Amino acid sequence: MTQYGKKHVPIFLTALLSMVFACAKEKLPVIETGSIKPMPEKWIDRDTGHKVTRLSQRQGSNRSFYFHNNPFIPATDGKNDKMVFYGDVEGSRQLFCIDLNTMVTEQLTFNPSRFGGEIVARNRREVFYQAQDSVYATGIDDRNTRLVFVFPDNLRGQVTTLNADETLLAGVTADREKLSILRQFPSKGGYFERIFEAKISHSLLTINIETGELNIIHKDNAWLNHIQFSPTDPDLLMFCHEGPWHKLDRIWTISITNGVPQLMHKRTVNREIAGHEFWSRDGNTIWYDLQILRGETFYLAGVNVKTGERQRYAMKRDEWSIHFNISPDQSCFCGDGGDSSQVAGAKDGMWIYLFKPEGDSLRSERLVNMKHHDYELEPNVHFSPDGKWIIFRANFEGESQVYAVEIKTRSLKALPWSSSELLLPLLPMWMAQIRFRGRSIGWLLRC
């Protein structure tokens, strides 16, 4: 062994023993994610070395929120953040809340009607949702439910977002022709192009939560969708022109005060696409999936809504994700990957990813192997409020459940040296000499 190797053996052994004790303490199995049904409550992903926990411990199918809808309620005691999600109950879908510290789950709604909505009010500590023409709010802590608004018979709208000071709900309404197309062609493959080509009149609307006043702030003969208020500016609303991304300029903002829409990204060449837009935590930037050309080059791009400054990070084909999200401290991103049928045509893209910017590119780390997941259900990744976990939904156990993967790893990347690449040639020698209860210690490096 070289002098360099001898010098760093104590460091390696110290780190190795730390991993041994950590694994022994939790006694977590090392398993290929989704290879058995059911999976244990917690395990180490065999292919990544990251700890995965099933958050939804109740019976039935469960789903976390869409990627750009905040599901989290801050702790009242500084340590018990909560997350709202949907779960099936005897044929109906209800809202539940899980304490992310104690893992205690409580049912929030008991509404017999079919309803939807993923609007969490952090300060009001309520969740808003809509059943047919009626909008309700239910308290996270007391579970009291109140009627907020009823749409008039001549206006069928849907609310989808809440502004930063939690005074206004916003959403969209459309002419009845849209509903007729949806009923006749219920699958996305059937209605998507038809609604886009029909140029149906849509309107953006706001509802004052306290007074019930409804205002139409913008009308267009285009399919308006993905309505998202800024997380910091109560006057600024983002929306999209929905349809085939290569046929339109998708991402827009509008001030609800002056009603003037502003295009955030204009396509520059044929077959350029941009979409699945979401806000940065500070409300300064809109991030989105950018491809120039479609299915050929891939970027996570951003535009500053105040200055117009643009930035973009390149990624490899297999790293492209259906959805991306940003960490609470805005230092990194996550993605939910995709299978070969998606626009990227990835050969090995079925992973939950962590991304860190390096120059003008993203450096990826694989967190969960999703090879046993059916991407008909999009995972829709979220960072936990403390930034230590990435939460997603998956069906690799057979039906949809909610999971969290710990960003921290106990793999070689976490060992305390600055030039690990120089040490890798020495590992086979050390591993051959070190035994743990008569077994090779190779398995420990995946704990």
CA–CA distance, 26 with 43 (Å, rounded to integer): 10
pLDDT at 346 over 80: yes
What is the Cβ-side half-sphere exposure of residue 328, based on CA atoms within 13 angstroms?
11
Q: What is the pLDDT of residue 412?
A: 37
| Residue in this structure with the two tokens 């690449």, named with its chain if needed | 421
pLDDT at 249 over 80: yes
Q: What is the pLDDT of residue 26?
A: 67
Task: Check residue 41 and report its DSSP letter.
Answer: S
CA–CA distance, 120 with 123 (Å, rounded to integer): 9
Q: What is the pLDDT of residue 445?
A: 40
Q: What is the pLDDT of residue 341?
A: 96
Asked, for residue 2, whether it belongs to a domain, the answer is: yes
Cβ(183)–Cβ(165) below 8 Å:
no
Q: What is the pLDDT of residue 25?
A: 58
Intra-chain end-to-end CA distance of the chain, in Å: 27
In the chain, the percentage of residues whose pLDDT exceeds 90 is: 83
pLDDT at 360 over 50: yes
pTM, full prediction:
0.86
Asked, for residue 419, whether it belongs to a domain, the answer is: yes
Structural domain count of the chain: 1
Cβ(350)–Cβ(338) below 8 Å:
yes
Beta bridge partners of 73: 82
What DSSP line would sit under 267-297, residue for residue?
A: --STT-EEEEEEE-TTSSEEEEEEESSTTTS
Q: What is the pLDDT of residue 77?
A: 78
Token pair, residue 367, equals 């967190």
Q: What is the pLDDT of residue 29?
A: 97
| Residue in this structure with the two tokens 């090879």, named with its chain if needed | 371
Asked, for residue 162, whether it belongs to a domain, the answer is: no
Higher-pLDDT residue of 444, 127: 127
Asked, for residue 25, whether it belongs to a domain, the answer is: yes
Asked, for residue 26, whether it belongs to a domain, the answer is: yes
CA–CA distance, 130 with 111 (Å, rounded to integer): 10
Of 6-10, 117-121, 266-270, 379-383, the one with minimum mean pLDDT is 6-10
Token pair, residue 88, equals 């099936």
Token pair, residue 342, equals 């998606």
In the predicted model, what is the mean pLDDT of residues 372-377? Answer: 98
Q: What is the pLDDT of residue 300?
A: 98
pLDDT at 17 over 80: no
Q: What is the pLDDT of residue 410?
A: 59
In the predicted model, what is the mean pLDDT of residues 41-60? Answer: 97
| Residue type, position 133, single letter | D
pLDDT at 424 over 90: no
Cβ(130)–Cβ(116) below 8 Å:
yes
CA–CA distance, 59 with 113 (Å, rounded to integer): 21
Give residue 80's pLDDT band: very low, low, confident or very high (50, 70, 90): confident
Asked, for residue 297, whether it belongs to a domain, the answer is: no
Q: How far is CA 4 from CA 117, 321, 423, in A?
A: 59, 41, 9
| Residue type, position 301, single letter | A
In the predicted model, what is the mean pLDDT of residues 332-339? Answer: 98
Domain that holds residue 427: 1-30+410-447
Q: Residue 9, Cα to own-chain centre: how many angstroms?
A: 41
In the predicted model, what is the mean pLDDT of residues 405-423? Answer: 53
Q: In whole numbers, what is the pLDDT of the chain averaged over residues?
A: 89
| Residue in this structure with the two tokens 């299978």, named with its chain if needed | 339
Give residue 173's pLDDT band: very low, low, confident or very high (50, 70, 90): very high
In the predicted model, what is the mean pLDDT of residues 278-291? Answer: 98
Asked, for residue 390, whether it belongs to a domain, the answer is: no
Helix and strand totals (H; E) in the chain: 5, 33
Asked, for residue 438, whether it belongs to a domain, the answer is: yes
CA–CA distance, 413 with 425 (Å, rounded to integer): 15
Cβ(65)–Cβ(72) below 8 Å:
no
